[in-house]
Amino acid sequence: MRKGLKWAWGFVLAIVLVVATACGAQESAQTGSAGANSTPGKVVKIGYQKGNTLHILKASGKLDERLAKDNVKVEWLEFPIGTALLEGLNTGAIDFGHASDANGVFSQASGKPSVYVATDTPYPKGVAVVVKDSSPIQSVKDLKGKKIGVTKGGNMHYLLVKALEKEGLSIADVEPVYYKDAAEGRIAFESDKIDAIGIWDPFLAVLESTTKTRLIVNGENLTQNRTFYFASEAFVTKEAETLKVVLDELQKSDQWANEHTKELASLLSEELKIDAKPLEIANARRTFGVLPIDEEAVKAQQDLAETFHKLGLFPNPIDIKSVTKSDANWYPESVVSK
């Protein structure tokens, strides 16, 4: 799919095959309704990644309790990265899940059928380009001719492109250095193999807490840095009531996260094996919440898709609106009124 990333997709596919095989014998949640007449033993399969909002919801147990009243069992499946989660969704291993804006774009570009059903609130401060405090680089313009570390096709890659464009520059004016994950990027940054690094929370907060850095630019007024909720076509068509319950409990869980930042940091610290303090910093610059898919969200995502298409990261243009589903039937009052 993405030029130069065939190895990554081979790894992702291998993960998906394992997940799909393990889950193949499980009952699908894609028939019937989740109301009072639900079929006993029905299962809804939800994919999550460690540390994201669905993980917080899972930890609370509230969704499991609520759906159990309708004879619906929740089956939680953990995925290491968003691309693997979306492949799991596209192969039928799960019904619903959460992945980043870039993950959604590349999944659609590869011809996969999962659809957008809701979005998290924008998180522009959660992605940034930073330098060491001792660096002579003071602004985006000073990045010209420098080595900038980013994950190819990641949210920080998009931020770098938009920040350069705002200053009349392009990606051709810098030397992108692509790293595979935050750990590899940090090693390159701390060993001075790159002049600046594009990085995202919570790894941004960890880096800021352990290394003297200086912010050059974050996503404010450049990128919304959203994550999205995706579902299979069959799930949104046949399970609107179940989806409504999931989004309602997710919104309640997000509200708890906003009101209990220290408890949340402690919870995520245990799961992510990261010190709680940087997680508090990361959580302080975002607001948790579920939003319906609206024109603003589609427009932002379309711009991201067009940016990466122009960079040659996938061959054919895509239309985000064609794979979005925004239906009042599955948006609870807690989401619509937010």
CATH (domain of 89): 3.40.190.10
Per-residue pLDDT tens for 241-268? 999 999 999 999 999 999 999 999 999 9
**Position 165, amino acid:** E
pLDDT for residue 284 is more than 60 = yes
Per-residue pLDDT tens for 185-236? 999 999 999 999 999 999 999 999 999 999 999 999 999 999 999 999 999 9
Strands 290-291 and 115-120: antiparallel
pLDDT for residue 288 is more than 70 = yes
Expressed as residue numbers, the domain containing 76 is 6-123+226-336
Based on the fold, state whether residues 44 and 191 are members of the same structural domain. Answer: no
Based on the fold, state whether residues 93 and 238 are members of the same structural domain. Answer: yes
What gap in Å lies between CA 269 and CA 255, rounded to an integer?
A: 19
Would you say residue 305 lies in a domain? Answer: yes
Backbone φ and ψ of 321, nearest 5°: -60, -30
Based on the fold, state whether residues 97 and 238 are members of the same structural domain. Answer: yes
pLDDT of residue 74: 98
What gap in Å lies between CA 242 and CA 317, rounded to an integer?
A: 33
Alpha carbon 197 to chain centroid distance?
A: 20
Which of 218, 244, 265 is the last residue before a domain boundary? 218
Based on the fold, state whether residues 230 and 96 are members of the same structural domain. Answer: yes
What gap in Å lies between CA 149 and CA 146, rounded to an integer?
A: 10
Based on the fold, state whether residues 114 and 164 are members of the same structural domain. Answer: no
- The count of structural domains within the chain is 2
Would you say residue 204 lies in a domain? Answer: yes
Based on the fold, state whether residues 151 and 251 are members of the same structural domain. Answer: no
What gap in Å lies between CA 126 and CA 15, rounded to an integer?
A: 28
Q: What is the DSSP letter of 112?
A: -
Residue 80 makes CB contacts below 8 A (sequence gap 6+) with 15, 49
pLDDT band at 291 (very low <50, low <70, confident <90, very high): very high
pLDDT of residue 114: 87
pLDDT of residue 336: 81
Based on the fold, state whether residues 47 and 109 are members of the same structural domain. Answer: yes
pLDDT of residue 327: 75
Out of 145-159, 187-201, 264-278, 298-312, least confident range:
264-278
Would you say residue 1 lies in a domain? Answer: no
Residue 65 makes CB contacts below 8 A (sequence gap 6+) with none
Which of 186, 218, 250 is the last residue before a domain boundary? 218
Would you say residue 301 lies in a domain? Answer: yes
Would you say residue 18 lies in a domain? Answer: yes
pLDDT of residue 113: 77
**Helix segments in 96-239, DSSP class H:** 101-109, 155-166, 182-190, 203-210, 233-238
Which of 165, 186, 218 is the last residue before a domain boundary? 218
Based on the fold, state whether residues 204 and 291 are members of the same structural domain. Answer: no
Please give the angle made by the CA atoms of 43, 68 and 242, to the nearest 5 degrees: 60
Q: What is the mean pLDDT of the chain?
A: 88
Would you say residue 64 lies in a domain? Answer: yes
What gap in Å lies between CA 92 and CA 114, rounded to an integer?
A: 10
Based on the fold, state whether residues 93 and 178 are members of the same structural domain. Answer: no
Percent of the chain exceeding pLDDT 70 equals 87
Nearest to 107 by CA among 320, 326, 291: 320
pTM: 0.85
Would you say residue 80 lies in a domain? Answer: yes
Decide: helix, strand or coil at residue 229: strand
Decide: helix, strand or coil at residue 231: strand
Backbone φ and ψ of 324, nearest 5°: -105, 145
Per-residue pLDDT tens for 62-118? 999 999 999 999 999 999 999 999 999 999 999 999 999 999 999 999 998 789 999
Strands ordered across the beta sheet of 227-231: 72-78, 42-48, 96-100, 227-231, 115-120, 290-291
Based on the fold, state whether residues 283 and 317 are members of the same structural domain. Answer: yes
Per-residue pLDDT tens for 25-56? 344 444 433 443 444 569 999 999 999 999 99
Based on the fold, state whether residues 148 and 178 are members of the same structural domain. Answer: yes
Decide: helix, strand or coil at residue 245: helix
Based on the fold, state whether residues 282 and 322 are members of the same structural domain. Answer: yes
pLDDT of residue 338: 62
Would you say residue 94 lies in a domain? Answer: yes
